[in-house]
Structure 1
């Protein structure tokens, strides 16, 4: 078990560096630079850059509002209260909420010093710039999580294969529940964890398009939703026919064709051929046969949807 996480390590180092730089430049309230760095360290590069821009913009707004109020009313606690009543709604209006706390703290320095002279304005601006800059520099390197994403891919494909094999077996052996709720739950949890990892990976690149893994995980989640619908059909299957065995064999074929690069075009053609074969077969004789075959056709329709989701993904690469 890791005692200190990577982000914690960067936060500790960054806060120290920011305070040292501020102190060496002779800035007052140098500790604030360290606090700003702590608040600006994020999980991804894009988050860090976005917050840096928001905080700098919010400070400039705070400086404008505070300067006007302090000159008109004076350097009193009530003035700071009025400042917050104006400042907070303005930042919310412009979606700069990330800068509320930091800019308010820096504004208190002006209140304490009872001055908005260039010396103190420059002092506070430098504290902000040092704090966010150190955070940005430390966030330029993020440990790659592509290895974990590839493991997620392998796990997802293997578990989907396992589910489809179980379905094929259930069709052949004529039982109406594949009894794999835990497997479905585990797959669902891993899918959403993997999607979060994919988005985190995406947000660690500024210029490179890293959206492939996001699209891949979204595709697999859509397929998972389709598999859940297919699973519901098992509650209504109660008889085994020639068509059932054919669909079971095809389901097993799909299970062994889930690898990432498969476009599923041939499998979609196979489904159409399967339907043509069904049309040439004799019609159901009893009501039970009719209902059961209807469920088989719905299962096959969902299987086609499952394959088309993958086909569309491969036809529209990132």
Structure 2
């Protein structure tokens, strides 16, 4: 908030000062344009600057026609707006409406559209946009926040796996899920992804790390954790397979890092599944249902790990 306030002050004063130094009419209008050009991200700043530039050319043509055909009066200004606003809206460039309306009122005040007058307005526009872009070239880095969020999310996921592992090994029958913890984790991942999207737009001239893909991968994994929890809660029989699965999950829990390749875990999981399938299926219905849940848990975990492998194969890993 403090940085944004300072930018607005510098933009307003700096743009007006430059305009006055160049002896431009309506010099303070450059302040308004500069402040309107200070957007949240660099990407937005350049996008809006381009829209205001080309709509200024369109506005110039419409102003020239309106004022010369109907005179320099309020009615002509209204006609200008009746034509310009729908055109800007159709071009998805509404950001140019306010600025070009201000420019049109200047033409109305001049009472004539001469080349010096038009040049004056284009220079005001250029100064305002230029100062806004220059100030927005500096954006505070969000990377420390993203790294902290990354570590927090990984720790939460790791704890989920450790808890599941312990309960499987100990055959804990009190394995109820903590719904609020799950919802809190989901909110943290979505918040981190939103912040990563903003960071990505803030640095269009630098190779910014793609944390967006990372947090999307973790969000996809989170939804498979929900399936894992659902199937896990049905596994409460004393069998060596449950213990073996618990030990494997314990090992997987210690692999939560951005750079860890889960391929070797998939190989071990496949071997574990093959070992389970060699055993004769139980005839007791309850034990059979538990076996089914155990295999469903393995399938969920396999997809969970595959998401990480695919993420690394796409070379989107933050380093």
Shift of 1:201: 2.1
2:140 is the alignment partner of 1:143: yes
In structure 1, distance between residues paired with 2:176 and 2:80: 64
Structure-2 residue corresponding to 1:192 = 190
Listed as ranges, the gaps of 5+ residues in structure 2 are none
TM-score by length of 1: 0.93
Residues 9-24 of structure 1: matches in 2 within 5 Å? 9-24=6-21
Shift of 1:239: 3.6
2:48 is the alignment partner of 1:25: no
Deviations 1:26-66 (A, max 9, x none): 11221211111111112222221111111111111111111
Instruction: Give the conservation status (yes or no) of the 8 Å contact 1:212–1:317.
Output: no
In structure 2, distance between residues paired with 1:82 and 1:234: 69
Structure-1 residue corresponding to 2:206 = 208
Structure-2 residue corresponding to 1:69 = 66
Structure 1: 4+ residue segments shifted above 4 A = none
Deviations 1:3-40 (A, max 9, x none): x5212211111111111111221112212111111111
Instruction: Give the conservation status (yes or no) of the 8 Å contact 1:229–1:302.
Output: yes
- Count how many residue pairs are aligned between Structure 1 and Structure 2: 315
Shift of 1:207: 4.0
Structure-1 residue corresponding to 2:43 = 46
Larger deviation, residues 281-290 vs 180-189: 180-189
In structure 1, distance between residues paired with 2:106 and 2:289: 77
Listed as ranges, the gaps of 5+ residues in structure 1 are none
Residues 117-196 of structure 1: matches in 2 within 5 Å? 117-172=114-169, 173-175=171-173, 177-196=175-194
Structure-2 residue corresponding to 1:6 = 3
Instruction: Give the conservation status (yes or no) of the 8 Å contact 2:176–2:233.
Output: no
Shift of 1:209: 3.1
Larger deviation, residues 245-254 vs 256-265: 245-254
Structure-2 residue corresponding to 1:230 = 228
Structure-1 residue corresponding to 2:102 = 105
